[in-house]
Structure 1
Amino acid sequence: MTFLRFALRRLAEMAATLLAASFLIFGAMYLAPGNPASFLLSGRSASPEAFRAINAQYHLNDPFWQQYLRWLGQVLRGDFGRSIEYRTPVSTLLASRLPSTLLLVAMALALVVVIGLALGWTGAVRGGATDSTILVATTFAVGTPSFVAAVLLQGLFSVKLGWFPSSGTGSGPASMLWHLTLPALALAHYLIGMLARVTRSAMLEVMGHEHVTVARSRGVPERAVIRRHVFRNTLGTVLTMGGLIVSTLLICTVLVETAFSVNGVGQLLDLSTTTKDFPVVQAISLIIVAIFMIVNFLVDLLLPLVDPRVTLGTRGGAV
């Protein structure tokens, strides 16, 4: 399959998936109990005229399909509507909170890639007690939810040792990095354990292949064997986890940002869900779906470069 045909097909699939996701996201909010108009009034009593005015302003009384088509048309123009809770455009809210979330996700992703690959490599190569220790540590990491890790990290490094702030985002690049260190660790720990175990298993499997045995029999140094013939052939397996890693990071930011009071998109999603701020929840959910699909698209493009046995559109399959 040529690159152009593959790209066009995937883009068409992504457009159809986004359309279906937009319908589900828009409709799901209306299944939740409560009325957004009541949140606008903050519990205050109001006359029927006031309720009618609010419903008219936000088109809450229009038929579902009219509301959906109106919202979809706005989204296609880059307009996510106006927040019911904050009374400001959703794009403005996202722009003010997005830098914190992007920095947090980037820090967590860097920790996942560096530490996860290093632990997987070390466990596969060293074996013995080192491998057993890494397996125990990664099992503990995989079995510990993000919010539990957040509480443990706060209690140890913020409350007891006082090394890091327990909440907030900070101001300025250095301060933001300092404030987001613990949240990034809480966000990354699960994926570090998972990536380490996947890398270890993939490397151990490749070590038993014939080409590795032949390279060793020819006197190729062990480090070169591991780097060129073992680790390189596991990158395809590791790369296929890219979509899962990014989607998990984006979803878990809701828990981690709430636990550490990080002024980011994840905390905004949590607050907006509580107050039934439809436009904000719908915008963030749709953006997460779009990012997930873009990452998977990029993974499919990179796989043939990492593993020549894989062709475009065949993830993990040798041809």
Structure 2
Amino acid sequence: MSARFVAGRLGGLVATLLVASFVIFGALYAAPGSPITFLTHGRSMTPEAIAALNAQYHLDEPPLAQYWRWLTGVVRGEFGTSILYQDSVGSLLAGRAMNTVALVLFSAVLIIVAGLVIGVLAGLRPGIVANSLMALSTASMAVPAFVAAVVLTLVFAVDLGWFPVFGSGSGLADRIWHLALPAVALALASVAFVARLTQTAVRQELAADHVQTAVSRGLPYRFIVRRHVLRNATIPVLTVTGLTVAGLIASSVVVEQAFQLNGLGSYLVSSVQQKDFPVVQAICLVYVAAFIVLNTLIDLAYSLLDPRIALGRRPS
């Protein structure tokens, strides 16, 4: 991996984050409603008091000045003060972010492990078991996350009582137990997608000329699969898997609401309803930044799997 390639990807990361921050700030600034409307709701306030509130939250400044003030604060790790709770946005997000991160990581592990195992098995050893797993996983693609959350809750939490219904738990083991159903609901459709793509990629590599040549030369089958088939099939699978995992960040909003996990997603919904703009801006920026960073890491991983990508070439 060349230093020029890494520098180019990191430069693109910074530029994309800068554009994303401007879009997030501008979209909320242009949105209907105002924090002042929420602060003064149900209260009779003089124009002087309203002007004081505008000055306190810098709402009387030009939009570009407000954006620059917010952006420089974000660079320092300061996301501002919550209008609703009068507390630091960073401290309000810290505890909730851990719940979202734990949920997304748990779901990502399920997607990667289950999707790759099913896909590789179906690609290398097609049969009744592999075809049944693929059919079952394909059917799960049609189930939205919120429907899966309701069904899993009714069956495994309410009827059978195997899992807790709400909350994120305390301690590692208890948290894993509480996040089991939400993680399955979030990962269900993505497992099928990754499995089907893996199956297709493996079968394409098995039919490739270089693999057939290796087979005709009498090389061990396990060596061929490990060295040629799986390695080359990893690149398209890595693309979709990375994007799918990044998409879990946004999809987690619905699952957090269904299971009352008190994560960033549920907090974003309540903050939008209450016009708590600093919190909404911070959560949206965190979501977008996580998605962009994951995509950059995927690009860097490409160059490790196939150095031709770092040199500006494409695999043949």
What is the rounded CA distance, in whole Å, between the counterparts of 1:224 and 1:281 in structure 2?
A: 51
- 1:239 has 2:238 as partner: yes
For 1:105, give the aligned amino acid: V
Secondary structure at the aligned position of 1:311 is classed as: helix
Secondary structure at the aligned position of 1:219 is classed as: coil
Q: Deviations over 1:223-269 (max 9, x none)?
A: 44333321121111122224412321111111111111002122211
8 Å CA contact retained: 1:247, 1:288: no
Secondary structure at the aligned position of 1:262 is classed as: coil
8 Å CA contact retained: 1:90, 1:279: yes
What is the rounded CA distance, in whole Å, between the counterparts of 2:67 and 2:241 in structure 1?
A: 32
What is the rounded CA distance, in whole Å, between the counterparts of 1:85 and 1:96 in structure 2?
A: 17
What is the rounded CA distance, in whole Å, between the counterparts of 2:46 and 2:136 in structure 1?
A: 60
What is the rounded CA distance, in whole Å, between the counterparts of 2:85 and 2:200 in structure 1?
A: 49
Range with greater deviation from structure 2 (10-19 or 111-120): 10-19
Q: Indicate the residue corresponding to 2:178 in structure 1.
A: 179
Q: Shift of residue 307 of structure 1?
A: 2.8
Q: Shift of residue 271 of structure 1?
A: 1.5
8 Å CA contact retained: 2:112, 2:241: no
What is the rounded CA distance, in whole Å, between the counterparts of 1:48 and 1:129 in structure 2?
A: 76
Aligned partner (choices 44, 47, 50) of residue 45 of structure 2: 47
Q: Indicate the residue corresponding to 1:134 in structure 2.
A: 133
What is the rounded CA distance, in whole Å, between the counterparts of 2:138 and 2:287 in structure 1?
A: 28
Secondary structure at the aligned position of 2:85 is classed as: coil
RMSD over equivalenced CA pairs, Å = 2.0
Task: Give the number of equivalent residue pairs.
Answer: 315
Range with greater deviation from structure 2 (253-262 or 284-293): 284-293
For 1:103, give the aligned amino acid: A
Identity, % of aligned positions: 46
What is the rounded CA distance, in whole Å, between the counterparts of 1:291 and 1:138 in structure 2?
A: 27
Q: Indicate the residue corresponding to 1:228 in structure 2.
A: 227
Closer, same or farther in 2 for the Cα pair 1:15/1:305, shift >3 Å? Answer: closer
Alignment map for 1:1-319 (pairs within 5 Å): 3-41=2-40, 43-49=41-47, 50-308=49-307, 310-312=308-310, 314=312, 317-318=314-315
8 Å CA contact retained: 1:143, 1:190: yes
Range with greater deviation from structure 2 (123-132 or 165-174): 123-132
Structure 2 residue ranges without an equivalent (≥5)? none
What is the rounded CA distance, in whole Å, between the counterparts of 2:28 and 2:310 in structure 1?
A: 37
Q: Deviations over 1:265-316 (max 9, x none)?
A: 22211221222211111112112222222222222222232234x321648x
8 Å CA contact retained: 2:118, 2:134: no
Q: Shift of residue 221 of structure 1?
A: 4.1
For 1:240, give the aligned amino acid: T
8 Å CA contact retained: 2:35, 2:275: yes
8 Å CA contact retained: 1:242, 1:299: no
What is the rounded CA distance, in whole Å, between the counterparts of 2:17 and 2:188 in structure 1?
A: 30
What is the rounded CA distance, in whole Å, between the counterparts of 2:125 and 2:59 in structure 1?
A: 62
Secondary structure at the aligned position of 1:263 is classed as: coil
What is the rounded CA distance, in whole Å, between the counterparts of 1:258 and 1:275 in structure 2?
A: 16
Q: Shift of residue 56 of structure 1?
A: 2.4
Closer, same or farther in 2 for the Cα pair 1:122/1:256, shift >3 Å? Answer: same
